[in-house]
Amino acid sequence: MGTTQKVIMVSGAARGMGAAIAKKFYDEGWCVSLGMRKPQMPAWATDKERVLIGHYDALDTTTEASWVESTIKHFGHINAVVANAGIGIWKNIIDISEREMDDLLDVHIKSPRRLVKAAWEQLVACGSGRVVMIGSLSSKRVYDSDSGPYAVSKFATLALAHSIRHTGFEYGIRATVICPGFVKTDMVEGMMPELNMTPPEEIARVAHFLVTSPNEVSISEIPVNCRAEESY
């Protein structure tokens, strides 16, 4: 694989926003490394040389480094990382169990940090490394009591991205959090009418804009909503 061919890693790429983001970059000519708990080649991947399927499980602390290693071995380098994998646990801060709270923090904070750390040398080496974190409007506000613990973890996702941005800025690394409201995925199925939800393909367009913007365009966060709220 030539060094001119750009390579992006996308976690949680089996469905929803992750699948849409991966397909967008593939359609734009990128090589894509797809992190999945149950690896399976997507139907849209007709050029298999530009697609790598990697095993990634945010609750397994060994998979970030091994996925990065396999990506480098296959493509030779890494230009961008999209930390998209997420879970939803809808309980208030009192009723949620310790294990459930740990899972939210592991998936939304600890695993993305390990993933970016594993890819760090590659992101520095390319001079324009990009990190996109998929946060939520719950990174900005607490929607209701049962979304409280989820919001705690997503607020931390926002802080993680800002930390990455500060740490890597002098090396050309730019980090952004996309903060969507309701997106038409199975995570929020039945929570509101689908017609009022943002299609995942629109989040993919935002991610592509961020990753392909020059170093002189540093965007720390982008809220994306499908309806009018007081601030978003």
- Is 207's pLDDT higher than 90? yes
Q: For tokens 């294990």, name the residue.
A: 99
Cα gap 150→109, rounded to integer Å: 12
- For residue 208, give the CATH number of its domain: 3.40.50.720
User: Is the confidence at residue 159, as pLDDT, over 80?
Assistant: yes
pLDDT at 3 over 60: no
The arithmetic mean of pLDDT across residues 45-66, rounded, is 96
Strand partners, 178: 134, 222
Provide the angle, in degrees to the nearest 10, between the axes of the packed helices 148-168 and 111-126.
20
Residue entry with tokens 């974190």: 133
Residue 33 within a domain? yes
* Number of domains composing the chain: 1
Q: Quick: pLDDT tens for 95-150.
A: 999 999 999 999 999 999 999 999 999 999 999 999 999 999 999 999 899 999 99
Assigned domain for 229 exists: no
DSSP letters along 185-226, please? SGGGTTSS-GGGSBPHHHHHHHHHHHHHS-TT----EEEE-S
Domain membership of residue 69 (yes or no) is: yes
CA geometry: angle 57, 114, 16, nearest 5 deg: 45
Place of tokens 């039945």: 190
Q: Does 1 reside within a domain?
A: no
Half-sphere exposure of 55 (CA within 13 A, CB side): 7
In a domain, 169, yes or no: yes
Amino acid present at 43: A
The pTM of the whole model exceeds 0.85: yes
CA distance between the termini of the chain: 42
- Tell me which residue range forms the domain holding 158: 7-224
CA count, 13 A, side-chain hemisphere, 121: 7
Q: Quick one: average pLDDT of 68-97? A: 97
Asked whether residue 2 is domain-assigned, the answer is no
The pLDDT value recorded for residue 194 is: 60
Nearest Cα residue to 206 out of 116, 82, 113 = 82
- The answer to whether 171 and 178 are in contact (CB under 8 A) is no
Look at residue 183 and tell me if it is in a domain: yes
Residue 26 in domain: yes
Instruction: Phi first, then psi: give them for residue 93, nearest 5 degrees.
Output: -65, -20
pLDDT of residue 185: 74
